[in-house]
Structure 1
C-alpha cells in the first residue's frame, strides 16, 4: 500500500511540474532573470504550493500518527551551519545556471533534452560526493557543526 501511495504522489508531483512549466529550464531561468526577460508566472506556482502545503500541514497536524506509518518523522535540527549554507548556495547556483532542480530534472529525463542528460548525471555525482563527504566528516572527531 505504501508503494502505491508513493507512486501516486510521485505521479501527481511530476504532472504538476509539467503543467506548471517547472520542467522547462527556459521558463525557470526567465523567472530568475530579474533584469532581462523576467517571467513572473512561477510566482503563482509557488503561491499555489504554499497554500496546498499550509492546508496539508494543518490537516496532518491533527492526526496522532500517519496513515501509512507508525509515527511522524519530524526533523529536530534547527541550527544553521556551514554545510547548510554551502549546500543551499550550490543548489541555487546549479538551479540558476541549468534551470533544473532535482524534481523537474528527473521528470524531464524521458524528453532526452541535452541539458537533462548533462544535469542528471552531474546531480547524481554531486549526491554521491556529498554522501562521501558526510561519512568522512562524521567519522572524524571534528564533525561537530559550526553555528553561524
Structure 2
C-alpha cells in the first residue's frame, strides 16, 4: 500500500510538472535569467505549490500519526552547515546550467526525451559519490583538527 501511494504521489508530481510547463528547460532558465527576458511562470508555480503545501503540512502534523507509517520522520537537524550550503549551491549551479532538477528530468523521460539521460546518469553518479566524498572530507577535517 505504501509503495502504491508513493507511486501515485510521484505520478501526481510528474503530472503537475508537465501541466505547469516545468519540464521545459527554457521556462526554468527564463526564470533564472532576471537580466534578460525574465519568465515569471516558475514563481507562480512555486506560489501555487506553497498555497497547497503549507496548509496541508500543518494539517498532517496535527494528526496523531501518518497514514502509512508508525511515526513522523522529521529532520532532527535544523541548522545550516557547510555541506548543506555547498549542496544547495551545486544544485543551483546545475539547475541554472541545464534547466533540469531531478523531478522534471525524470518526468521528461515520459515524453521520450532521451537527451536527459546523460544528466540523469550524472545525477545518479553524484548521488553515489556523495557518501564516499563526504567520508573523505570528514576524515580530512578530523585529521586537521588532531594536528592543531
TM-score normalised over the length of structure 1: 0.88
Q: Which residue of 2 aligns with 1:77?
A: 77
Q: Distance in 1 between matches of 2:33 and 2:90?
A: 18
Q: Distance in 1 between matches of 2:63 and 2:140?
A: 40
Give how far 1:138 is off: 5.8
Q: Which residue of 2 aligns with 1:146?
A: none
Number of residue equivalences? 142
In the alignment, is residue 88 of structure 1 matched against residue 85 of structure 2? no
Q: Distance in 1 between matches of 2:51 and 2:124?
A: 31
Give how far 1:47 is off: 0.4
Q: Whose helix fraction is larger, Structure 1's or Structure 2's?
A: 2
Q: Which residue of 1 aligns with 2:100?
A: 100
Where in structure 1 are there 5+ consecutive unaligned residues? 144-148
Give how far 1:82 is off: 1.2
SS of the equivalent of 2:57 reads helix
Give how far 1:118 is off: 2.2
Q: Distance in 1 between matches of 2:45 and 2:108?
A: 18
Q: Distance in 2 between matches of 1:74 and 1:140?
A: 30
Q: What are the residue-to-residue correspondences of 1:1-148 with 2, within 5 Å?
A: 1-110=1-110, 111-114=112-115, 116-137=116-137, 142=142
TM-score normalised over the length of structure 2: 0.88
Where in structure 2 are there 5+ consecutive unaligned residues? 144-148
RMSD: 1.8
Give how far 1:131 is off: 1.9
Q: Distance in 2 between matches of 1:44 and 1:141?
A: 42
